[in-house]
Amino acid sequence: MKIISGSIKTGIGACVLCFNLIIGFLPQSFGQADNDYIKVSSGVQYQLIGTYDTHKLNEVFKKDLEDFLQTSTVGSKAYNDSFPPATYPVKLYRVKYNSVIPELSNRPVVASGLIAIPENGSDSMPLLMYQHGTTFSKTEAPSFPENSMETKIIVSRFASQGYIVVCADYFGKGMSDLPDSYLVLNSAQQACVDMLFAANSILTSKKIKQGPLFLTGWSQGGWATLVLLQKLESLGITVTATATASAPADGLVMYDRWFNNYQPIDAVYLPGCITLQIQAQEYYHQQVGLTASAIRPEYLQASIDFYNSKIDWATFRKLTKDKLQDYLKPEFLASGNTCESPYWQVLDKSQAYRWRSHTPLYNYYGGSDEVVPVFIARLPETFQKVLGGGPTTAVYAGDKADHRATFIYSVIHAKNWFDQFLKK
């Protein structure tokens, strides 16, 4: 039995995302000292780190959106007038909570995340649980919102319109002192479920009732959203609707395509993503020697330094190669021919769609996505139709939509879709 920390005990159980090429900074005025944390029940504590007023929230869809889409195939002008003005200011709280690492015999750990609460005077609001995408720095995470453009975009789109927004930092991100748990399935589920419980403790202390629960996430976060949905359904926790953007639902198939069928569209940062995933798997699944068996020796030290945050992405890229075929060992690439080694077996168990779901689900995908191929993004729709599962729809963001544009498209349309459930 694996444990979800708190009062519930149960079994809890890769892929990639994109990363933000533009890294923000955390102003000294945005945050408070550790001794300003307010403690609530079950090892949960939180601190106010700032307030986004309506002007700040509206600015996110101007300059911030322009910066976010600077490298995209679809510029920010395509989304002019797509976002309504902010209705409410939003208070942002950094959260620390107790959790465990399932892959390491439930070793206790302190994790972190963000809860954003609209200042609308209501004592009951819908709750959106958002799972973030791949990042190449420790504090480019929801609990440091000024460093995370996608977090600001989600807060501005949903919290400013009356949704409570909750985001977990995966183990190894935010305030965590662990190595990055990149695409480690059980740890992803554990971090997100425990963050949801922590958020509910905080809301209870503030006498705010959680309304309907929605899930969404982008890229790595799309994968995390699917495995979180699976866990919540198994626990009998009702999710009203779920939406993913560029979700790598099957890491085994996607990585094999990356490794052995290079396409000109493939993102130059895929070696960075694979570096995080391989070393996370070595650490959390105790596959000693995996990194050295996979990465060419001339790039091994750079990969270790990158995973341990001793060098940044720009330095890592200068020291390595942009193509996985030049970065990884030929024999490791060839292991994808049969996918029988322990590395591939873990990836196969980390799939995020092969169960019979009952929650309404939209999977957004783009025709020019440089990370997640169309076939991979559409797997949940096909699989649920075969099983007769819940209503699952693959939603096309357009021929030109790359990884980031697919995310923005989903942010616009998923909010409108979720709102329909609130009217019923």
End-to-end CA, the chain: 38
Chain CA centroid to CA 93, Å: 19
The pLDDT assigned to 182 comes to 98
| Boundaries of every domain in the chain | 34-250+351-422, 252-349
Chain CA centroid to CA 223, Å: 7
Q: How many residues does the chain have?
A: 424
The pLDDT assigned to 28 comes to 33
Q: Which residue has the tokens 């049969």?
A: 338
Bridge partner list, 393 = 362
- Token readout for 236 is 């009998």
The pLDDT assigned to 32 comes to 52
The pLDDT assigned to 17 comes to 39
Q: What is the pLDDT along the chain (424 residues), one digit of tens a residue?
A: 333 434 333 333 333 333 333 333 333 335 555 568 999 977 999 999 999 999 999 999 998 999 999 999 999 999 988 999 999 999 999 999 999 999 999 999 999 999 999 999 999 999 999 999 999 999 999 999 999 999 999 999 999 999 999 999 999 999 999 999 999 999 999 999 999 999 999 999 999 999 999 999 999 999 999 999 999 999 999 999 999 999 999 999 999 999 999 999 999 999 999 999 999 999 999 999 999 999 999 999 999 999 999 999 999 999 999 999 999 999 999 999 999 999 999 999 999 999 999 999 999 999 999 999 999 999 999 999 999 999 999 999 999 999 999 999 999 999 999 999 999 7
Distance CA 373, CA 172 (A): 27
> In the CATH scheme, what is the code of domain 34-250+351-422?
3.40.50.1820
* Residues 6+ away with beta carbon under 8 Å from 103: 184, 186, 187, 284, 285, 286
Distance CA 377, CA 372 (A): 7
Q: Which residue has the tokens 């923005």?
A: 408
3-class SS of residue 276? helix
The pLDDT assigned to 8 comes to 37
* Residues 6+ away with beta carbon under 8 Å from 331: none
Half-sphere exposure (CA, 13 Å, Cβ side) for 60?
A: 29
Handedness of CA 62, 225, 7, 181 (dihedral sign): negative
The pLDDT assigned to 34 comes to 56
Detail the DSSP E strand segments found in 160-300.
164-168, 209-218, 241-245
The pLDDT assigned to 33 comes to 56
DSSP conformational letter for 179: P
